[in-house]
């Protein structure tokens, strides 16, 4: 679609008076760049390399995949766009999660949507569900970053996003400094699928379905695994994970 001369002039004037800067590197963005993250930062993401495990998406480097052992049997697949921590990927996640730049989710979801999925996942995935925040944490941040990602990812996949299908029943402390075992204990029984009284409550909608859980980062998988166990107990047949970032496992380069 052609852009009129008046529109180009208005954009140039706005860039002159209120120059846009990248939320990741704080570089002034060019007039042709869209979104909140500059093209240079997007090009510098540390993408997950191939070959990788067909199930969990973790690089195998010719060895037996160790990350799959951390996934419950009802989890079919996991995919992430890039490694974190990383100077660019981490800056983008922090801009979304801690600095309130919710618009960054659109570009992040676009990278997540490009992940290669097995054919059965492409054929079966019925809806995306964001990992919920506690009500106190959501009030503090003003939004749920996982929901922002899910709402941008769902249209790309042409499936619905169910924001009311999973809730957090209690606040949990930050997972940042916890061991894998402590992370699992921290989120155990912290989620539930509401019964509801609507015509098609969450349990009815997900019964026998393949659901994709969405979050910003996959670290040990403790939070996603706890959510998946709750969905499976509520009737979901299979669950897959989609995240923007992924932490390296022990032994990764």
CATH number of the domain that residue 193 is part of: 3.40.50
- Looking at residue 67, what DSSP letter applies? G
**DSSP helix/strand/coil, 44:** coil
Provide the pairing of β-strand 238-246 with 75-83.
Answer: parallel
CB 225 within 8 A of CB 184: yes
Instruction: Indicate whether 86 belongs to any domain.
Output: yes
Instruction: Indicate whether 204 belongs to any domain.
Output: yes
Number of domains in the chain: 2
Q: Per-residue pLDDT for 161 more than 80? A: yes
Q: Per-residue pLDDT for 103 more than 70? A: yes
Question: What angle do the packed helices 145-157 and 89-97 form, to 10 degrees?
Answer: 110
Decide which of 252 and 220 is more confident: 220
Longest CA span, the chain: 59
Q: What is the pLDDT of residue 199?
A: 43
Burial class (CB in 10 A: 0-12, 13-18, 19+), 200: exposed
Q: Which of 251, 189, 250, 244 is nearest to 78 (CA)?
A: 244
* 182 CB neighbour count, 10 Å cutoff: 13
- Per-residue pLDDT band for 172 (boundaries 50, 70, 90) equals confident
pLDDT mean over 15-34: 84
**DSSP helix/strand/coil, 152:** helix
Q: Is residue 8 located within the same domain as residue 133?
A: no
Q: Is residue 116 located within the same domain as residue 173?
A: yes
Q: Is residue 216 located within the same domain as residue 101?
A: yes
Instruction: Indicate whether 251 belongs to any domain.
Output: no
The 10s digit of each residue's pLDDT in 79-88 is 999 999 999 9
Burial class (CB in 10 A: 0-12, 13-18, 19+), 253: exposed
Instruction: Indicate whether 17 belongs to any domain.
Output: yes
Whether pTM > 0.75 for this model: the answer is yes
Q: Per-residue pLDDT for 43 more than 50? A: yes
Q: Hey, which residues does 82 pair with through a beta bridge? A: 47, 245
Q: Per-residue pLDDT for 91 more than 90? A: yes
Q: Is residue 144 located within the same domain as residue 214?
A: yes
Q: Is residue 193 located within the same domain as residue 233?
A: yes
Q: Is residue 110 located within the same domain as residue 12?
A: no
Sign of the Cα torsion 130, 131, 136, 140 reads negative
Q: What is the pLDDT of residue 72?
A: 96
Give the structural domain span for 15: 1-44
Query: Cα–Cα distance between 106 and 173 in angstroms, integer?
Result: 28
CB-based burial, 164-177: b 16+ in 10 Å, e otherwise:
ebbbbeeebeebee
Q: Is residue 65 located within the same domain as residue 120?
A: yes
Query: Cα–Cα distance between 62 and 44 in angstroms, integer?
Result: 26
Q: Is residue 34 located within the same domain as residue 75?
A: no
Q: Is residue 40 located within the same domain as residue 59?
A: no
Instruction: Indicate whether 229 belongs to any domain.
Output: yes
Which residues have a Cβ under 8 Å from the Cβ of 198 and sit 6 or more positions away? Answer: none
Q: Is residue 29 located within the same domain as residue 56?
A: no
Instruction: Indicate whether 252 belongs to any domain.
Output: no
Which residues have a Cβ under 8 Å from the Cβ of 40 and sit 6 or more positions away? Answer: 22, 25, 27
Q: Is residue 118 located within the same domain as residue 198?
A: yes
Q: Is residue 90 located within the same domain as residue 10?
A: no
Decide which of 177 and 126 is more confident: 126
Conformation bin of residue 97: beta by default, left when phi > 0, alpha when psi is -120 to 50: alpha
Instruction: Indicate whether 175 belongs to any domain.
Output: yes
Query: What do you get for the CA distance between the two ends of the chain, in Å?
Result: 44
Lowest pLDDT segment from 8-12, 55-59, 124-128, 179-183: 8-12
Query: Cα–Cα distance between 124 and 212 in angstroms, integer?
Result: 10
- Per-residue pLDDT band for 187 (boundaries 50, 70, 90) equals confident
- Per-residue pLDDT band for 76 (boundaries 50, 70, 90) equals very high
- Per-residue pLDDT band for 12 (boundaries 50, 70, 90) equals low
Report CA Rg, the chain: 19
């Amino acid at each position: 679609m052609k852009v009129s001369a008046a529109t180009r002039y208005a954009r140039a004037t706005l860039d002159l008076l209120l120059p846009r800067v990248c939320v990741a590197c704080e570089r002034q963005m060019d007039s042709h760049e869209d979104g909140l993250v500059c093209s240079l930062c997007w090009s510098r993401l540390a993408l997950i390399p191939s070959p990788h495990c067909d199930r969990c998406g973790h690089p195998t480097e010719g060895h037996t995949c160790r990350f799959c052992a951390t996934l419950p049997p009802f989890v079919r697949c996991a995919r992430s766009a890039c490694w974190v921590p990383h100077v660019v990927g981490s800056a983008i996640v922090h801009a979304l999660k801690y600095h309130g730049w919710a618009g960054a989710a659109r570009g992040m979801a676009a990278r997540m949507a490009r992940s290669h999925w097995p054919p059965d996942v492409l054929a079966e995935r019925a809806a995306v569900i964001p990992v919920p925040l506690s009500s106190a944490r959501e009030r503090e941040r003003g939004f749920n970053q996982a929901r922002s990602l899910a709402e941008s990812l769902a249209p790309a996949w042409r499936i619905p996003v169910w924001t009311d299908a999973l809730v957090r029943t209690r606040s949990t402390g930050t997972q940042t400094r916890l061991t894998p075992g402590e992370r699992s204990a921290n989120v155990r029984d912290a989620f539930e699928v509401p019964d509801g009284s609507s015509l098609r409550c969450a349990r009815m909608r997900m019964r026998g379905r393949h659901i994709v859980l969405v979050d910003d980062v996959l670290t040990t998988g403790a939070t996603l695994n706890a959510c998946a166990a709750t969905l499976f107990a509520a009737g979901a047949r299979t669950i897959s994970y989609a995240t923007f970032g992924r932490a390296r496992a022990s032994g990764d380069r």
